[in-house]
Amino acid sequence: MAFVTRQLVRSMSSAAASASAKKITIKHVTVIGGGLMGAGIAQVAAATGHTVVLVDQTEDILAKSRKGIEDSLRKVAKKKFAENPKAADEFVAKTLSSISSSTDAAAVVHSTDLVVEAIVENLKVKKEFFQRLDKFAAEDTIFASNTSSLQITSIANATTRQDRFAGLHFFNPVPVMKLVEVIKTPMTSQKTFESLMDFSRNLGKHPVSCKDTPGFIVNRLLVPYLLEAVRLYERGDASKEDIDVAMKLGAGYPMGPFELLDYVGLDTTKFILDGWHEMDSKNPLFQPSPSLSKLVGEKKMGKKSGEGFYKYK
Ligand code: CAA
Ligand code: NAD
């Protein structure tokens, strides 16, 4: 009898161990930050059957995010249901009804499967944010940062859940760009990594992985290119308009580098560059740019603020 009980306990504990090693199916997502990226992530998650809570600092910002999501959904629906305007309206309404919002992250993370953070590109701010949230989120909840350039390990170390912490890097505009970079730190569990790879696929995206290195794959190549374009312009070698035309017509890029800088946000690009310069001040690719600093100093953040290298209506 004692043998049978021991066997039973052993098989029960191995079942529990394999259950805890199993991937999580992410159904409920909390997105922190309703700016360019957070709004897009919330939209795509809701449109693919997830329940979403979008968090930002004020109700005004959240109302603006919701309007942006609705406009973007209408573009998607127009294409997806070209022959059926009623189905398009239903898709927009159903997706919007899956997104609720809050200004209090701590109050809404008690039973979420995944927190995706898309707030300002600043290590101290991100660390403080996750350190606080760690106390309120459920044990199983996975934390992910959409950082463009910061080390995921440094952010994860602010929490007690390093095994349930990873990078989940989306691209702008999120509803259109198919890529997600999934970043596994040395502490991220395989279960967390696989749960996020599956989640990315469920969003209709193509996940790739990269070590926890500055800029991962895309930004390590893209940001130095963008800054080289600015230096070309700063030296007076060519106008920004000609550089943009050249890269579109000569290299097949959908946007020129100045159009893309404005689209990404000049503040975000400056945060990325400043962080890398601090890390490796001798690298010529990471040197500060006078024109970028000047525009950000004048609050010209690019398309989102109405002016950057170009002016927008
Ligand atoms: N939501 C939904 N659909 C959108 C959209 C949005 N926000 N923006 C564009 N679209 C759709 C349009 O409706 C349009 O659909 P149809 O083909 O059915 O008409 C399609 O996308 C193309 O849009 P447009 O015709 O308006 O304009 P475009 O052809 O110039 O494409 C673009 C716009 C997709 C943004 C394209 O210019 C592009 O790919 N640009 C480069 C973007 C890029 O490099 N992003 C990565 C930035 S780096 C990053 O994100 C990482 C980081 O950490 C900084
Ligand atoms: P954004 O400025 O458009 O939006 C950031 C939002 O976060 C704002 O609405 C702000 O009010 C909100 N916020 C700030 N602190 C907050 C807090 N403590 N709680 C809740 N909300 C808070 O910035 P973005 O372009 O969406 O970038 C967000 C993150 O995504 C950054 O880490 C950035 O590097 C990264 N990223 C940006 C791009 C891009 O092309 N812009 C692409 C990929 C990744």
pLDDT digits over 252-284, tens only? 999 999 999 999 999 999 999 999 999 999 999
For the record, the structure tokens of 13 come out as 């504990």
Q: Phi then psi for 204, rounded to 5 degrees?
A: 85, 15
Determine the pLDDT at residue 313.
87
- The strand pair at 179-183 and 165-169 is best described as antiparallel
173 alpha carbon, closest ligand? 1
Determine the pLDDT at residue 206.
98
More confident residue, 227 or 1: 227
More confident residue, 14 or 295: 295
For the record, the structure tokens of 279 come out as 């890390």
Residue whose CA lies nearest to ligand 2 atom number 10: 33
Q: How far apart are the CA of 254 and the centre of ligand 1, in A?
A: 9
Determine the pLDDT at residue 10.
45
169 CA: nearest ligand 1 atom: 53
Q: How sure is the predictor about 20, in pLDDT bands with cuts at 50, 70 and 90?
A: low
- Residue 14 predicted with pLDDT over 50: no
Residue whose CA lies nearest to ligand 2 atom number 16: 119
- Residue 18 predicted with pLDDT over 50: no
Which is the catalytic residue, given 65, 145, 146, 219? 219
CB 143 within 8 A of CB 164: yes
What does pTM read for this prediction? 0.94
Q: How far apart are the CA of 120 and the centre of ligand 2, in A?
A: 5
Any catalytic annotation for residue 209? no
24 CB-side CA count, 13 A: 20
Provide CATH 3.40.50.720 ranges for the chain: 28-211
Q: How far apart are the CA of 174 and the centre of ligand 1, in A?
A: 8
Whole-number average pLDDT of the chain: 94
List of residues 6+ apart from 225 with CB closer than 8 A: 257
221 alpha carbon, closest ligand? 1
71 CA: nearest ligand 1 atom: 1
47 alpha carbon, closest ligand? 1
170 CA: nearest ligand 2 atom: 43
Q: Was domain 28-211 assigned CATH 3.90.230.10?
A: no
List of residues 6+ apart from 86 with CB closer than 8 A: none
Any catalytic annotation for residue 154? no
Q: How sure is the predictor about 22, in pLDDT bands with cuts at 50, 70 and 90?
A: confident
List of residues 6+ apart from 37 with CB closer than 8 A: 118, 146, 170, 172, 174
Q: Give the separation between CA 56 and CA 33, rounded to whole angstroms.
A: 5
Q: How far is CA 66 from CA 73, 92, 169, 188, 235, in A?
A: 10, 12, 21, 33, 42
> DSSP assignment, residue 22?
S
Determine the pLDDT at residue 23.
87
Provide CATH 1.10.1040.10 ranges for the chain: 219-305
pLDDT digits over 209-255, tens only? 999 999 999 999 999 999 999 999 999 999 999 999 999 999 999 99
Residue whose CA lies nearest to ligand 1 atom number 12: 75
pLDDT digits over 35-45, tens only? 999 999 999 99
Any catalytic annotation for residue 117? no
Considering only CA atoms, which of 267, 266, 245 is closest in space to residue 309? 266
- Using the CB atoms, write b or e for 173-208: b if 16+ within 10 Å: bbbeeeebbbbbbebbbebbbbbbbebbeebebebb
Ligand 1 site residues (CB inside 6 A) read 72, 75-76, 79, 148, 171-173, 175-177, 218-219, 222, 254-255, 260, 264
- Identify the CATH homologous superfamily for domain 219-305: N-(1-d-carboxylethyl)-l-norvaline Dehydrogenase; domain 2 (1.10.1040.10)
Any catalytic annotation for residue 219? yes
Residue whose CA lies nearest to ligand 2 atom number 20: 56
pLDDT digits over 59-91, tens only? 999 999 999 999 999 999 999 999 999 999 999
Calculate mean pLDDT across residues 142-155.
98
Q: How sure is the predictor about 290, in pLDDT bands with cuts at 50, 70 and 90?
A: very high
- Residue 163 predicted with pLDDT over 70: yes
